[in-house]
Structure 1
Amino acid sequence: MSQAIEDKIKQIQEKLVQLCRRNAVIEKENTALKLALEESKTSAATAVSNVEAIQQQLDIARYGNTQMSPDERKAFEKRVNGYLKEIDRCIALLSV
Structure 2
Amino acid sequence: MVNLEQQIKSIQDKLQQLLKQQTLLQKENQQLKKELEKQTALAEEKQGLVLSLQQQVDVVKMGSGSLNEAEKAALSKRIDGYLKEIDQCLALLNT
Q: TM-score range by the shorter chain?
A: 0.7 to 0.9
Aligned residue in 1 for 2:59: 60
The higher relative CO (CA closer than 8 Å, separation ≥ 6) is in: 2
Q: How far 1:94 sits from its partner (Å)?
A: 4.0
- Report Cα offsets for 1:27-52 as digits up to 9, x if no partner: 11011111211221121112111111
Q: Alpha carbons of 1:31 and 1:90: their partners in 2 closer, same or farther (altered >3 Å)?
A: same
Aligned residue in 2 for 1:18: 17
Q: Alpha carbons of 1:49 and 1:94: their partners in 2 closer, same or farther (altered >3 Å)?
A: farther
CA distance in 2, matches of 1:51, 1:66: 22
| Paired letter, 2:14 | K
Gaps of 5+ in 1: none
Gaps of 5+ in 2: none
- CA-atom RMSD, angstroms? 2.1
Q: How far 1:15 sits from its partner (Å)?
A: 0.9
Identity of matched residues, %: 40
Q: How far 1:68 sits from its partner (Å)?
A: 4.6
Instruction: Give TM-score, length-normalised by structure 1.
Output: 0.80
Which of structure 1's runs of 4+ aligned residues deviate more than 4 A? none
